Amino acid sequence: MQAIARPFFGPEHEAFRDQVRRFCENEIAPHHAEWEQAHGVPLEVWRKAGENGLLCAWLPESLGGPGADFLFDIVVSEELCRIGATGPGFNLHSLVVAPYIAHYGTPAIQQQILPRMVSGELVGSIAMTEPGAGSDLANIRTRALRDGNGWLISGQKTFITNGQNAGVIVVAAKTEDEAGKPGISMFVVTADMPGFSRGRNLHKIGQHAQDTAELFFENVRVGPEHLLGEVNKGFRYMMQELPQERLCISVNCQARAEAVFGWTQEYVKERKAFQQRIADFQNTRFKLASLWADLQAGRALCDSLIQRHLLGQLDTASASAGKLWHSELLDRVTDECVQLHGGYGYMQEYAVARAYCDARIERIYAGTSEIMKEIIARAICDEPRR
């Protein structure tokens, strides 16, 4: 079927999409299976992505970026999803980590870090989750204690995307103000700082090419310029940045679901059983029709959320609703498409099988589906009546 025009993408975005598509097909698709075996993407790929303008496209020239817009980074995300490449963590690097530094970092830190993130010299990660604190960020135990005019950071983080490759990490840590009231603050840590170390590269049931690590901080000393924003306002900053992060997950899940659906369309037209194509069975046709309808609804919601974000109108509840809908849509689509592939859908050599395993984490990270429902429920049930 003909693709629906998406009015917020202009000719310059589509020209960039062609460039990104060539990069993905030439530099990523042929090697992704190898990276899945290695459980990581080589740093050289990051540098090539930087050379081709695929990283932090939204950053202004004053911060070392190309001065494009948010939609260019969305194009990169969608093209990676189109080929099922979950290894390169460009999305998190560009649209989650870099914004913290650009929005709250000191000028010195911005100039030291951001141009090197644009070039791919520094890979970014964000360290929030801990062994005893996942979605419940208020219970993190990593501490940042004052040390002269700087800070000493100690603690452990886990499930950190880009963790093995990371050269710069945005860290959430408990702090105390002068009155002794605990709060959360955000810091920039670079991998060359004494006291920082990485643990094992965690092996997951899916997204095998994505390096996911444990990180350790043992009295890592950072100067005052490494504090993002103000002391004890980290939780507020996280709440301000999370809508964009959750929108990115909606974008990824929608694009991956569309890709899996496309692969399945082709498969059922070619595969035969009982002297007819799988596509000729009524069950197959009705399953695909139902999935296609869901994908149309998902695309409309996703693009509406993108449009609202471009207008500065994307609120936490709406972004959470998108993350909830699209992550569960991807789960549903991949499950049905595996079934339509039959036994071959269970073979790892088939992209649909890998997509099925890759999809499961989307309902967990950046806030579980249960947390998304709680956020939405608070917005619709707990607001004062007017």
- Residues serving a catalytic function are 245
d(CA 124, CA 144): 20
Bridge pairing between strands 168-176 and 124-127? parallel
The whole-angstrom separation of Cα 136 and Cα 156 is 15
Distances (CA, A) of 68 to 55, 57, 327: 11, 5, 28
State which amino acid sits at residue 164. Answer: Q
Q: Which residues pair with 170 in a beta bridge?
A: 126, 188
Given a contact cutoff of 8 angstroms between Cβ atoms, the answer to whether 338 and 345 are in contact is yes
